[in-house]
Structure 1
Amino acid sequence: MLAIPREAITGLVLAGGRGQRMQGQDKGLLLHRGRPLVQHALDRLAPQVGPMLISANRHLPAYRSFGTPVCSDTMPGFPGPLAGWLSALQACRTPYLASVPCDVPGLPLDLVARLARALHQADADIAMARTPEREQPVFALLRHELAPSLEQALARGERRVLGWALEQRMAVVAFADAAAFRNLNTPADLDPSPADTNG
């Protein structure tokens, strides 16, 4: 029995950044093993949640072509993941939002279930992943009711995910496999060839 039903959780793939370390390219649309990075994230997250959203601020028709609703920041200037969360919370119609970035193609398939269990058991407002080295703040599950707090934080200039999250009732979930959270940050990290090239 799931602590929180899948249907009560909207999945969000964050793809709204500047892509500065990708030479300004729109990271979610770059190919890795023959598919756009955002498609890898959608495929890994979709079985874990109910409805899905993509947060994007550029090339919106391209993102809509994946068949998933797209929401954009309501604040100008690419203010970061917190702004993506806010627009998604305003758009979603479920009690919970599960967030992942677009640049981690191997994200855990049990991510949301484990975050949901921790959030439920701790009666927390947000559950966040942690690997042995550090927190993974954009891998998170948060309650819809956090939208006003998030809006206020952004209005006062907060841009750090962990900075805002620590103000909430937070549960942290330890994941031993740091490799599952490896993000592809630079063009050299990408493998643009299809995965079945030799098959």
Structure 2
Amino acid sequence: MNRQSSISGVILAGGLARRMNRQDKGLVAFNKQAMITYAIQAIVPVVDELFINANRNIDHYQQFNYPVITDKRDDFAGPLAGVYAALNACHHDVLLVTPCDSPFMPTAALQTLIDERERNAADIAVAFDGERIHPVFMAINTTLKNSLQDYLAQGERKIDRWFEQHNWIKVDFSANPEFFSNINTLAQLADLAIKE
């Protein structure tokens, strides 16, 4: 695949999953595979290196044979802490971010995020389903590391407020909102598995 930039990738699996009885979502079985497996399959074709961001069960995540990075904080500070950990670890100009709990996101859509960020010369490209943004699906310029460090140091957590500090774009996936079906509860896990 010809790309103008080399791409780093991170799968965010560092949350507490409070709505799933604190089970580690990336490791929960969905249709007989750990949920993170779907994210790995989607992102690997479009990145040059891949990290898994996790704060628990590190040994289990290491079995997927990609470097596992932690938030380097003990307060489970949310997705931006995982993004910041990846920005500290990655070696390329662009970081592609995806969560561990959205098994229907295809590779082509992730490539679209990369392409649209580059085409628009944006700092950040974020997925948009026609109604709302999905900020954990994004492609970002890795030069934003210091900006994110400062933002987190101020005690900030809201992703969209950080976006507003930069040249960011929404990438329209309104034709395929199903890409963003994610699994936050045990009921959703059962419901979506039945449909598959």
TM-score calculated relative to the size of structure 1: 0.91
Q: What whole-Å deviation, never above 9, does each CA across 1:142-167 have from its counterpart, x for those lacking one?
A: 11100000000000011011110121
Sort the Cα spacing of 1:99 and 1:74 in 2 relative to 1 into closer, same or farther, 3 A. same
**Residue 2 of structure 1: how far off its partner (Å):** 5.1
Structure 1 runs not aligned, ≥5 long: none
User: Contact (CA 8 Å) 1:2, 1:117: kept in 2 or not?
Assistant: no
Match of 2:121 among 117, 120, 123: 123
Secondary structure at the aligned position of 1:11 is classed as strand
RMSD of aligned residue pairs (Cα, Å)? 1.8
Moved over 3 A (4+): 1-5
User: Contact (CA 8 Å) 1:33, 1:191: kept in 2 or not?
Assistant: no
Which residue does the alignment assign to 1:104? 102
User: Contact (CA 8 Å) 1:41, 1:102: kept in 2 or not?
Assistant: yes
Which residue does the alignment assign to 1:4? 4
Q: What whole-Å deviation, never above 9, does each CA across 1:30-60 have from its counterpart, x for those lacking one?
A: 0000000111111111112111110000000
Partner Cα separation in structure 1 for residue 92 and residue 180 of structure 2: 26
2:168 is the counterpart of 1:170: yes
My pick for the range that moved more, 120-129 or 27-36, is 120-129
Q: Which amino acid aligns with 2:56?
A: R
Secondary structure at the aligned position of 2:4 is classed as coil
User: Contact (CA 8 Å) 2:96, 2:114: kept in 1 or not?
Assistant: no
**Residue 108 of structure 1: how far off its partner (Å):** 2.6
Which residue does the alignment assign to 2:15? 17
User: Contact (CA 8 Å) 1:9, 1:98: kept in 2 or not?
Assistant: yes
Which residue does the alignment assign to 1:155? 153
- Kindly report which structure 2 residues correspond to 1:1-199, keeping only aligned pairs within 5 A, or say none: 4-5=4-5, 8-175=6-173, 176-191=175-190
Identical-pair percentage: 37
Q: What whole-Å deviation, never above 9, does each CA across 1:110-168 have from its counterpart, x for those lacking one?
A: 12321122212221111111001210111000111000000000000110111101211
**Residue 188 of structure 1: how far off its partner (Å):** 1.6
Structure 2 runs not aligned, ≥5 long: none
**Residue 109 of structure 1: how far off its partner (Å):** 1.9
Secondary structure at the aligned position of 1:110 is classed as helix
User: Contact (CA 8 Å) 1:16, 1:78: kept in 2 or not?
Assistant: yes
Sort the Cα spacing of 1:2 and 1:170 in 2 relative to 1 into closer, same or farther, 3 A. farther
User: Contact (CA 8 Å) 1:3, 1:120: kept in 2 or not?
Assistant: no
My pick for the range that moved more, 121-130 or 141-150, is 121-130
User: Contact (CA 8 Å) 1:118, 1:172: kept in 2 or not?
Assistant: no
Partner Cα separation in structure 2 for residue 101 and residue 178 of structure 1: 16
TM-score calculated relative to the size of structure 2: 0.93
